[in-house]
Structure 1
Amino acid sequence: MNLGIRVQLLSRAQIRCYHRICRIMKHVSLSQTNDLMPTLGLGTWQAPPDVIESTVYNALNLGYRHIDTAFNYNNEEAIGTAIKKWISDGKGTRKDLFVTTKLPHVGNRAEDVDKFLTLQLKRLQLDYVDLYLIHVPFAFHCDDQTLTPKVKSTGEYELDTETNHIMIWKKLEECQEKGLIRNIGLSNFNEKQITKIMQSCNFKPQVLQVELHAYFQQQDLRKFCSDYEIVVTAYAPLGSPGAKDHFVNKYNYNPDTFPDLLGHKDVKEIAEKHGKTPAQVLLNFLVAQRVVVIPKSTSVNRLKENMSIYDFELSSSEVNRLKKLDKGEDGRIFNFLFWKGVENHPEYPFKIQKVEVEQVKQ
């Protein structure tokens, strides 16, 4: 009798624990293919090839299965080498992985999709990618020798103002039908641009990747995506601590303000209460809301830390406390104004104050 009661109580405790943990899902299902997309991925922006190869291999060994890269990151070859080695070492199979890459701003033309996708698959040493995103809604003219944007003597980027999202999307659908892409999505697009594509597409966008963190929570855009079963992926989910140095060193662009989410008093207090780090709290906060996160790190310890986000639950008061950190548009870090003149492109996706643009031009 006592044994029976003990087993029953244990079973209830296990069930409670199961339901508590499973509220924070490790995968989301993409609506049109039913492919499972891990809610935690490895971001690789700013990771140089000589570092990212070992980082990806280590991440895969730790249990990461979602790798996010892009043509513009200039590290697809190193990532492909790491994936190939991991598979050849018998650690797993291609089907275990979810690999995302992106069509670059210099390839935002229907006639250029095949060229860039073919090159990217070759660099990644893959027959297909699980997700292919249009990286940004605007386009630059391409230097065919360097595959980088053409820049005028004034420092302004040469805009290709003939960008046609519908034609690009139809070309991506063709590539999907050929088996080169499993899922198609967008990055840095606004609601109006997404709606225009959905009105003409056969296969709707499966994922929208945007800047998203506690200072910039994008609630309206997320509600829009939820209504259309579009999964939202958050880049810079920790506020991108290394972005400011990148802006200054590469583009000589210095934002007036820059967030320090990891050092915020509320985030630190919540982390201490749960015996977690501020980074783990910020990632858990988003993943619990069914947002996919792709934090970037090259440290094995940080890679492990970023994985340990599924075994605790924030209280409703803690969630509300973090929601109150939202600054709206004032919290945006990546407005792309480091590409001088980009705000003049007809498909520039963000509303910006005139004074902000003037400061960049000076």
Structure 2
Amino acid sequence: MAASVLLNTGASIPPVGLGTWRAEPGLVGAAVCAAVKVGYRHIDCAPSYGNEKEVGLALEKLFRDGVVKREDLFVTSKLWYSNNAPQYVPEAIQTTLDELQLEYLDLYLIHGPIRLEKGSAPTPENSLPCDIPATWAAMEKLREAGKARAIGVNNFSCRKLEALLAVARMPPAVNQVECHPGWQQARLRELCRSAGVHLSVEHRSQLTAHHGTLPTGICSVVLAYSPLGSTAAAGVNAPSVLGHPVVTSIAGRLQRTTARLALRWGLQMGQSVLPKSTDEARIKENLDIFGWSIPEELMAEFSEIEQACSLHCSFLCIFAHLMFLFVRSCSYCCFSLYLPRPSRVPHHIDLFPWCKSSRLSCSEQSSE
């Protein structure tokens, strides 16, 4: 695998990791073992994925069998919405550490700028005001205590990230967001670059056996998810990046699959990627993005791809956004839904009180 990317903490993050989002129980443990054995050194987890305990059993077996040492792995997890308050942060990370059978995390992310009532369903009526600066201060204490060696955020827009950077003692090391050739997030990538935040992309698209699976995410180095386009939200059929004429043309000229090309594009844009698969052959194939590159003149052609008209919102906002389609985007977070591009996209700020609960509002301006 190619050299790791340096974070603003001085630690390094592998350029490719295994995403575990929606990895089926009974399969995710074997997938983690297979991934580590073929060279993966980054495992991306979250309590909301419902499989951290199984991932922990797999990690313990890998360590016990001498396949890899703890210090050679980079493990990420996230603070779920119902714990997005300073008083819940210590208990939340300890629960994750216990399930993963680890003493520390390499990276701990605020899963999003959203807070829910404890034990409630993720619906707008269960949302609470979210004090991100206070939660971030609790995250900083985790790093000082050695529970998390780096801290960061997930699905933070430019506006949300700028607000956090203005008050943080320790800037976020990573922002994990959706980013792919069809939604390139140019302004967000530039903000992360200038602020020293890595962009990370976690894959949330299901691909055919021919294509394998790809990642999505963002970080202060950027971690990118949904590199092939978002298909996971609310049953919306997002446009496939893999079928775009620019992508298929470049893939043909380089004699690579469109999936490999999209992953390689992410790496060359400075992102780290988190492809998700439980199929051993595809897990191995997703590492086939090194030892070759996209020439500069072909990279320039990606700018010809029309960027999707996107609703940037948390899933708490999805149904309202779909009900009121004249709202184009939400600066609340960086999740996106794809809709046919309208000729006009006015907005109305008062429809989405749960967006405003975290001091961000819906607007016509893109979350970039």
Please state which band the TM-score falls in when normalised by the shorter chain: 0.7 to 0.9
Asked if residue 311 in structure 1 is aligned to residue 278 in structure 2, the reply is no
Q: Which has the higher contact order (CA 8 A, sep 6+)?
A: 1
> Using the alignment, how far apart are the partners of 1:268 and 1:122 within structure 2?
45
Alignment-mate amino acid for residue 321 of structure 1: E
Could you tell me which of 288, 292, 310 is aligned with 2:272? 292
Asked if residue 270 in structure 1 is aligned to residue 257 in structure 2, the reply is no
| Offset at residue 25 of structure 1 (A) | 5.2
Alignment-mate amino acid for residue 27 of structure 2: V
Could you tell me which of 316, 320, 325 is aligned with 2:305? 325
| Offset at residue 352 of structure 1 (A) | 5.8
Cα–Cα, structure 1 residues 254 and 333, in superposed 2: closer, same or farther, change >3 Å?
A: farther
> Using the alignment, how far apart are the partners of 1:76 and 1:350 within structure 2?
33
| Offset at residue 235 of structure 1 (A) | 2.5
Question: Within 5 Å, which residues of 2 pair with 1:192-211?
Answer: 192-211=159-178
Partner of 2:210: none
The percentage of counterpart residues that share the same residue type is: 30
| Unaligned stretches of 5+ residues in structure 2 | 204-214, 217-225, 321-331, 333-351
Asked whether the equivalents of residues 225 and 232 of structure 1 are also in contact (C-alpha less than 8 Å), the reply is yes
| Offset at residue 234 of structure 1 (A) | 1.6
Asked whether the equivalents of residues 25 and 288 of structure 1 are also in contact (C-alpha less than 8 Å), the reply is no
Asked whether the equivalents of residues 103 and 147 of structure 2 are also in contact (C-alpha less than 8 Å), the reply is yes
Could you tell me which of 290, 315, 318 is aligned with 1:336? 315
Higher helix share: 1
Q: For each residue in 1:36-82, what CA deviation from the matched residue of structure 2 results, as whole angstroms up to 9, or x when unmatched?
A: 10111111111122111100100000100011111111111111111
Partner of 1:89: 65
Asked if residue 65 in structure 1 is aligned to residue 45 in structure 2, the reply is no
Partner of 1:229: 196
Partner of 2:5: 28
Cα–Cα, structure 1 residues 308 and 337, in superposed 2: closer, same or farther, change >3 Å?
A: same
Asked whether the equivalents of residues 191 and 224 of structure 1 are also in contact (C-alpha less than 8 Å), the reply is yes
RMSD of aligned residue pairs (Cα, Å): 2.5
> Using the alignment, how far apart are the partners of 1:124 and 1:197 within structure 2?
29
Could you tell me which of 242, 250, 262 is aligned with 1:282? 262
Q: For each residue in 1:256-277, what CA deviation from the matched residue of structure 2 results, as whole angstroms up to 9, or x when unmatched?
A: x412122333322322322321
> Using the alignment, how far apart are the partners of 1:338 and 1:193 within structure 2?
16
Alignment-mate amino acid for residue 274 of structure 2: I
| Offset at residue 193 of structure 1 (A) | 2.1
Partner of 2:76: 100
Asked if residue 259 in structure 1 is aligned to residue 239 in structure 2, the reply is yes
Asked whether the equivalents of residues 57 and 82 of structure 1 are also in contact (C-alpha less than 8 Å), the reply is yes
Asked whether the equivalents of residues 27 and 38 of structure 1 are also in contact (C-alpha less than 8 Å), the reply is yes
Partner of 2:339: none
Partner of 2:346: none
Tell me the matched-pair count.
313
Question: Within 5 Å, which residues of 2 pair with 1:46-57?
Answer: 46-57=22-33
| Offset at residue 199 of structure 1 (A) | 2.4
Asked whether the equivalents of residues 138 and 348 of structure 1 are also in contact (C-alpha less than 8 Å), the reply is no
Cα–Cα, structure 1 residues 333 and 174, in superposed 2: closer, same or farther, change >3 Å?
A: closer
SS at 2:175 equivalent: strand
Q: Radius of gyration: which is bigger? A: 1
SS at 2:159 equivalent: helix
Cα–Cα, structure 1 residues 349 and 48, in superposed 2: closer, same or farther, change >3 Å?
A: farther
Partner of 2:347: none
| Unaligned stretches of 5+ residues in structure 1 | 1-23, 144-148, 248-252, 354-362
190-199 or 226-235: bigger deviation: 190-199
